[in-house]
Structures are given as structure tokens and as C-alpha cells.
């Protein structure tokens, strides 16, 4: 289990492999971002995308799927996230692309209001199979600090101070 104390500023992690499919691009767009260039090959061909492309929000969802898979494989005492900053869709994501993630821890600090919790910020870089950056953002993560173990003597002293 990784705790706040285990988070190292400057640490880089690479993970994930997400195959983008045409069916998923169209299904996501139909439900959440029904712009024509996410739904129709013919319409998309007449735009600057040149062909059907995934919604940026779909790209975010694909990345979240990879993040959760990585957290399952590398247990962390995570407590969620209050949000992201500086979200950029740098390059279109197309059906047939294979996405992967890279995170770099930028900073960390212990919460002033909740000392049992730490806060860290990371830069997420998402690349396609050619190594091209398709999306970036800065995330803020919340994570538990390592639990302290009190001895029986310490607990007895705390319960019955002199």
C-alpha cells in the first residue's frame, strides 16, 4: 500500500494501453458529445480533423479507465481528487489509436486542515502509439498518510494521564 510518505516529487510512472475503437467513439459521442465530426465519417472528413475523432471528454474517460486500472495494480491509499487544472486536448484521438499515460509528481504537501491526509499534484501526459502527445493536464490527488502504530504503553498513558 502506498501512502503520502511514499509519494516522491519528480517520480515518473508510465502505464496503460487503451485501444480506441470506432464503435466506442461513436457510442460515447452519441450519448455525451453528439457533434457531427464525432458521429459521421463523411462530416468529419470535411473538418480540420480529416476523419472521425474521439470527443475530448471521451479521451478523459479513457484515461480515467487506465488510471483506475493502474491504481488497482499498485495499491494506493487514495482518497479521490478535488479536480484537474490546465486540461489540453493537444492532438485529435482517432479510432485505431493506442493510448498510454505518463505521470510526473510535481509537488506534495500535508493537508493543514486534515493532517491524516496528503495532497500531491501531478502532470499527466497522454500519448498515442506514435509517441505523440494527445492530451495533458495537472491533477490534484488526495492520499492518506501512513497510519501510526501506538504501543500498549502509549495507549495506556493517553487513557490515564498522571
Structural domains present in the chain: 4-159 (3.10.129.10)
Instruction: Provide the pLDDT for residue 115.
Output: 87
Chain centroid to CA 55: how far? 17
How confident is the model over 78-133, as pLDDT tens digits? 899 999 999 999 999 999 999 999 999 999 999 999 989 999 999 999 999 999 99
| Secondary structure of 85-152 as H, E, C letters | EEEEECCCCCCCCEEEEEEEEEEEEECCCCCCEEEEEEEEEEECCCCCEEEEEEEEEEEECCCCCCCH
Tell me: pLDDT of 53 over 70. yes
Amino acid at each position: 500500500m502506498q501512502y503520502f510518505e511514499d509519494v516522491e516529487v519528480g517520480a515518473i510512472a508510465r502505464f496503460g494501453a487503451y485501444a480506441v475503437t470506432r464503435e466506442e467513439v461513436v457510442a460515447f459521442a452519441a450519448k455525451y458529445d453528439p457533434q457531427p465530426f464525432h458521429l459521421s465519417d463523411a462530416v468529419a472528413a470535411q473538418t480540420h480533423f480529416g476523419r472521425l475523432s474521439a470527443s475530448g471528454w471521451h479521451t478523459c474517460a479513457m484515461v480515467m479507465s487506465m488510471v483506475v486500472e493502474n491504481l488497482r495494480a499498485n495499491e494506493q491509499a487514495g482518497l479521490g481528487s478535488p479536480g484537474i487544472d490546465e486540461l489540453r486536448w493537444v492532438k485529435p484521438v482517432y479510432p485505431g489509436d493506442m493510448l498510454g499515460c505518463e505521470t510526473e509528481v510535481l509537488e506534495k504537501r500535508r493537508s493543514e486542515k486534515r493532517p491524516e491526509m496528503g495532497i500531491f499534484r501531478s502532470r499527466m501526459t497522454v500519448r498515442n502509439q506514435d509517441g505523440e502527445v494527445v492530451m495533458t493536464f495537472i491533477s490534484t490527488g488526495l492520499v492518506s498518510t501512513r497510519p501510526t502504530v501506538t504501543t500498549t504503553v502509549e495507549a495506556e498513558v493517553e487513557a490515564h494521564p498522571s
